[in-house]
Chain A
Amino acid sequence: MTRSHIVRLLTSAALALIATGCVAPRKDYAAFIAANPKSILAIPVLNNTVNVDAPDYFLSTLPVPLAERGYYVFPVNLVKRLLEDEGLADAGLVHRADPAKLAALFGADALLYVTIQKWEAKWILIQTNVTVEFDYVLKDAKTGTVIWKDHETMEYSSNSNNSGGLIGAIVSAAVAKAAPDYMPLARRANAQALAYPGPGFPAGPYRPEYQLDYPKAETQQQPPPAQPMPPQRAEAR
């Protein structure tokens, strides 16, 4: 199999993934729109896995997609360090703290709670499956109520594009097991969680389509263009 052949296969696989990834169930954004947050405080990530590095690694993937949605995102590393200085090194404590008080410390409009449910590489015979799974919850700082949430699972298998027979598969699996790369999966999970229209939230104040991208058209499959588009159809709730 030639390299170009492989690339072609992979590209079509990636495209298929996008086609499904960009279509997402509709959500009720009433609470989100009513809260109208302008700034998001991503608090330290809660870890339900045995991988002790996962929360910090994952934290580093959050600012870019959140800010690109048009919100002010508080500096996540600085926030984490300040909380540690306040005796809140344990993410569980932060997650259980009163949202209003927590937000007031920073002057935030909304708080993003992420819990890592899976961050693992499993070696099964001739294939390694790398899986990440996250719960995302956004709370309004004023009321402490949940204004948005999402759940994402991403997986990749060392075997999915293998062409080298059994030995090739074993080698691929060993490589993937020895150095599983979670970060692209984590970024993809975020991209999918925040894609809009879709599971993600509407554009924030730093995007040109702020307050113009909802109520959203039901069948739109592309991310909103830079130029604001008038809603095509009012959505019955």
Chain B
Amino acid sequence: MNARAPLLAAAVAAATLAACAPPTMYAWNNYDQAMYRHYKNPQDREAWVAALKTAVLESEQEGRRTPPGLYAEYGYALYEEGKAKDSIVYFEKEKAKWPESRVLMETMIRNANRRDGNVPPPAAKGPAGSLEKKPGSTEKKR
């Protein structure tokens, strides 16, 4: 119990602080926690992609506003999975919803179009690396 006190303190402070802020404009659906977990455990790409997909779908279903960047992030996750054609759908959505994203999204769409077709899936780098996933290959999971 005592060992939990600091955790409790943090939780209470966080909850109360949240009350200090106005209700959120966007339906985030744990976008930030999903990204944190992605950086903490980059091997688990499936969880990252699934979390983004859920966040996109739920934000649309709730009729609340999909937050800026979410479509693009999901599109990029698909792109990294080698699903260039699918990624374009979401880059287009981001661009349509957020005019500020036009320059970047047009770049992404060009990249995806270039990759779409018979080009093999990207050899990913960085935190989302280890994704040179071939269908049927068994991956080591932590």
Contacts and interface: CB of A to CB of B under 8 A. Distances in A.
Nearest to B5: A161
A77 B76 contact: yes
B54 to A, nearest CB: 16
Given A61-B32, A64-B28, A64-B31, A226 B22 contact: yes
Nearest to B97: A72
Contacts of A7: 8, 12
A68 B17 contact: no
A72 to B, nearest CB: 4
A57 B39 contact: yes
B17 A207 contact: no
Interface of B: 1-3, 5-10, 12-14, 16-17, 20-22, 24-26, 28, 31-33, 35-36, 38-40, 67-70, 72-73, 76, 80, 94, 98, 100-104, 108, 125-128
Report which residue of A6, A59, A77 has the largest number of chain B beta carbons within 10 angstroms of its beta carbon: A77
Interface stretch (A27-35, A112-120, A145-153, A176-184): A176-184
B14 to A, nearest CB: 5
Chain A contact patch, size range: 35 or more
Interface string A94-108: 000000000001111
A10 interface: yes
Contacts of B69: 63, 67, 73-76, 78
Interface string A148-185: 00000000101011111000100110011000010110
Given A53-B40, A63-B67, A184-B14, A161 B32 contact: no
Contacts of B33: 60
B100 A38 contact: yes
Contacts of B100: 38-39, 72, 107-109
B21 A223 contact: yes
A107 to B, nearest CB: 3
B31 A106 contact: no
B7 to A, nearest CB: 8
A72 B98 contact: yes
A107 B103 contact: yes
Given A14-B13, A67-B67, A84-B126, A56 B25 contact: no
Given A81-B128, A161-B9, 10 more contacts: A60-B32, A70-B25, A74-B101, A76-B35, A156-B9, A163-B2, A164-B2, A172-B6, A183-B36, A188-B13
